[in-house]
Amino acid sequence: MELLLDSLFNGVAIGSVLLVAALGLAIVFGLMGVINLAHGELMMLGAYTTYVTQLIFKLPILKPFYNSYIIVSIFLAFIVSGVVGILLEKTIIRKLYGSPLETLLATWGVSLILQQFVRSVPLAYGTGLVISLIIGLFLPTTFPSKIKESINFKYFKFSSWIFAALTGVITSSVISSSISKISRASARNVDVTAPLWMRGQVEIIGTAFPKTRLMIIVITLISVIAITLFLNQSAWGMRIRAVTQNRQMSDCLGISTEKVDIITFGIGSGLAGVAGVAVSLLGSVGPNVGGNYIVGCFMVVVLGGVGNLLGTVLASFGIGIMTDLIGAGRLLSIWPDMPLPLSNTINFFATTSMARVMIFALIVIFLQFKPTGLFPQKGRMVEN
């Protein structure tokens, strides 16, 4: 029983990282038919945001609040990845609307650039750049509507970008002079240390659970609840669902599909950032950190079906629990005296990498019976 609980917990922990990472991917894929290969790199940005936030909270001014940095970094990571995602949508993905394979390739290009960017640009300057992007994109939207409608709005926009650039330069020089660790470029992995209250273990029903894993599960839970509420209760959520179901019709009915695309992509990317925070708690952070999770996320999306959050949730926990069951060879300990050939097979697959082999094979077999995932979209289209 204890063993089963342990296994279930491990599976849920693996699954919840997958879930928070795949959630954004699934929403964007459902809406735009775009698989974002740069999703892993957006996660990486979130992880690096956590690292930078941690360093900033070590500065004397913010030292008293150090313990809360992880909470702050969740929001910051959401904003940073979200803004980069919005920029990506505005500059590249919008041009490729209707050709998903080309989008796939373009986002791969973006992911290469982001990886190399982290390697060869100091994090301090990266922070400055991101801050100026945030200001430049959002400052014009805060102007009163009188200015927005005036003919000179483009000058206001332009001047706000200049202001943003200046702020970025100032912050980056301040950060690079006060935190020497990130003033030079480095391709080495960095480590995020959890605050004191998150270290150690908690005992529940006689079994010890590491606190960081529990924290990840909590983060995932909050993200899922928040996104479900947003999609089902808010006006924009309704618009997003409408566009997911039928883009042309929503467009005809006066929904601004352009805005819906931006918002969805921003939220999806932001969720990748939150996933990055979770990932940074599990191990060291490097330019390739996203690559370890991304294919699992793709599998979740393929398995879960399009445009259905429940499918995503079930698929990620399913994959998580199966990974743990196979990868740790738990079936053997649950059923110790199984016949020899069977136990040999299970031993053969009882490593992390071989468990992946098994899982993917199982997914391909599953898709033979349910080609459109667990919860296919209903409709009578021939094909779209």
Partner 1 sequence: MSLSKIKFDKKIVLSFWIILIALIIAAPTLLPVFRLNLLGRYLSLSIVALGVDLIWGYTGLLSLGQGIFFALGGYCAAMYLQITSSSEFPNNIPEFFALYGVEKLPFFWEPFRSPVFTFFAIWIIPALVAGLIGFLVFRNRIKGVYFSILTQASLLVFFNFFNGQQKLINGTNGLKTDVTQLFGQMVGSESMQRIFFWITATLVIAAWFFAKWVVKGRFGNILIGIRDDEPRVRFTGYNPVIFKTIIFSIAGGLAGISGALYTVQSGIVSPQFMTVPFSIEMVIWVAVGGRGTLLGAILGAVFINYAKSLVSEALPASWMFIQGGLFILVVTALPEGVLGWIQGDGPRNLLQRFGLKRKIETYPSLEVNSKGGE
3-state DSSP of the chain: CHHHHHHHHHHHHHHHHHHHHHHHHHHHHHHHCCCCCCHHHHHHHHHHHHHHHHHHHCCCCCHHHHHHHHHHHHHHHHHHHHHHHHHHHHHCHHHHCCCHHHHHHHHHHHHHHHHHHHHHCCHHHHHHHHHHHHHHHHHHHHCCHHHHHCCCHHHHHHHHHHHHHHHHHHHHHHHHHHCHHHCCCCCCCECCCCCHHHCCEEEECCEEEEHHHHHHHHHHHHHHHHHHHHHHHCHHHHHHHHHHHCHHHHHHCCCCHHHHHHHHHHHHHHHHHHHHHHHHHHCCECCCCCHHHHHHHHHHHHHHCCCCHHHHHHHHHHHHHHHHHHHCCHHHHHCCCCCHHHHHHHHHCCCHHHHHHHHHHHHHHHHHHCCCCCCCCCCCCCCC
Instruction: Determine which residue in the list 16, 49, 111, 316 makes contact with partner 1, applying CB under 8 A.
Output: 111
Instruction: Determine which residue in the list 109, 150, 225, 229 makes contact with partner 1, applying CB under 8 A.
Output: 109
The token pair at 72 is 């702050």
Q: Is 345 in the site for partner 1 (CB under 8 A)?
A: no
For the segment 77-96, give every residue that binds partner 1 (CB under 8 A).
Answer: 92, 95-96
* Site track 44-83 with partner 1 (rule: CB under 8 A), x = hit: ----------------------------------------
For the segment 289-328, give every residue that binds partner 1 (CB under 8 A).
Answer: 291, 295, 298-299, 301-302
Compute the least distance from the CB of residue 101 to partner 1, in Å: 4
Q: Is 361 in the site for partner 1 (CB under 8 A)?
A: yes
Instruction: Determine which residue in the list 180, 233, 248, 368 makes contact with partner 1, applying CB under 8 A.
Output: 368
Tally Cβ neighbours within 10 Å of residue 92. 16
Instruction: Determine which residue in the list 172, 216, 356, 375 makes contact with partner 1, applying CB under 8 A.
Output: 356
Q: Is 244 in the site for partner 1 (CB under 8 A)?
A: no
Compute the least distance from the CB of residue 317 to partner 1, in Å: 19
Q: Which stretch binds partner 1 (CB under 8 A): 3-11, 28-36, 141-149, 313-321?
A: 28-36
Q: Residues touching partner 1: how many (CB under 8 A)? A: 45
Compute the least distance from the CB of residue 85 to partner 1, in Å: 15
Instruction: Determine which residue in the list 33, 195, 210, 376 makes contact with partner 1, applying CB under 8 A.
Output: 33
Rounded to whole angstroms, the Cα distance separating 354 from 83 reads 37
Instruction: Determine which residue in the list 64, 98, 341, 371 makes contact with partner 1, applying CB under 8 A.
Output: 371
Instruction: Determine which residue in the list 3, 4, 112, 229 makes contact with partner 1, applying CB under 8 A.
Output: 112
Cβ closer to partner 1: 94 or 211? Answer: 94
Instruction: Determine which residue in the list 195, 351, 374, 377 makes contact with partner 1, applying CB under 8 A.
Output: 351
Q: Is 360 in the site for partner 1 (CB under 8 A)?
A: yes
> Interface residues with partner 1 (CB under 8 A)?
29, 33-35, 92, 95-96, 99-106, 108-113, 115-116, 119-120, 291, 295, 298-299, 301-302, 351, 353-354, 356-357, 360-361, 363-364, 367-368, 371, 382-383
